[in-house]
Amino acid sequence: MLTHRRWESLDGAEHGWLSAKYHFAVSADGNPAHGAVGPLIVWNDDEIAVGGGFPMHGHRDMEIITYVRQGLLGHRDTLGSEGAIHAGDVQVMSAGTGIRHAEFNRGDVPLKLYQIWLLPREAGGEPAWDSKPFPKRDRSGHFVVLASGFAGDEGALPVRADARVLGALLKAGESVRQELGRARHAYLVVASGRIELNGEPIGPLDGVAITNVDAVQISALEDSELVMTDLG
């Protein structure tokens, strides 16, 4: 089953320095059709203006993956971690028993990123932070695992959730098949371009909740950048 969440159907907010669209309802008055998919409860499409950012704030018992699409993300937290995360890089933060952090636009162009929140396998644990570059050339024509809570996903950033986050770049005319399994869920977002997903056209910035399918067949109608979560 494919449930198409079109860009124009997403809830959103404008704060001057922040323009946000929400693939998942973030409040009681949000789109009731946009509920959680397995442990995936948040997927925000954020654009942060030059000079803008989130001031120091706290999280606990959440796995937060940040996928930078454009610009330069600055990070600072109470573990003493500091980072500069470029477009194509991925950041993970396991909030555990509690962590405070600030995130901000360190570049000279608008910062575009996805914030993906996963419920952890277990509450508690020591907070942790890490980041890693994932060159886009390595994702050409196929999915690469960027972050994972499963053994065997070598090279992926670790998260403490029953999920993995994948990325792919497809040129117009290319296709890829991704095995899932009917017992699992997935959520796919078209970061750029246009695709067909099991024959259904999906536009730029749209999302799709995927349930009860063994695999998905993706064909690029244009050069496309894809981000997907494979969920328990």
Q: Please provide the size of the chain in residues.
A: 232
Element (H, E) at 43: strand 40-48
Total domains, the chain? 1
DSSP state of 38: T
What residues make up the domain containing 38? 2-231
Confidence of residue 26 (pLDDT cuts 50, 70, 90): confident
**CA within 13 Å, CB half, 177:** 5
3-state secondary structure of 159: coil
- State the Cα–Cα distance between residues 79 and 199, nearest whole angstrom: 46
Q: What value does the mean pLDDT take over residues 186-215?
A: 96
Is the predicted pLDDT of residue 64 greater than 80, yes or no?
Answer: yes
Q: What are the tens digits of pLDDT across the range 104-134?
A: 999 999 999 999 999 999 999 999 999 999 9
Question: CA nearest 81: which of 71, 91, 72?
Answer: 91
Confidence of residue 72 (pLDDT cuts 50, 70, 90): very high
Close Cβ partners of 60 (under 8 Å, ≥ 6 residues apart): 95, 96, 97, 98, 99
Close Cβ partners of 218 (under 8 Å, ≥ 6 residues apart): 168, 170, 175, 176, 177, 178, 188, 195, 196, 197, 226
Q: What value does the mean pLDDT take over residues 165-169?
A: 97
* Cα angle, residue 179 at apex, residues 178 and 184 outer, rounded to 5°: 120
Q: For residue 136, give the CATH number of its domain.
A: 2.60.120.10
How high is the pLDDT of residue 109? 97
Handedness of CA 179, 131, 225, 162 (dihedral sign): positive
How high is the pLDDT of residue 28? 82
Q: What are the tens digits of pLDDT across the range 181-191?
A: 878 899 999 99
Is the predicted pLDDT of residue 232 greater than 80, yes or no?
Answer: no
3-state secondary structure of 9: helix
pTM for the predicted model, two decimal places:
0.95
| 180, 199 Cβ separation under 8 angstroms | no
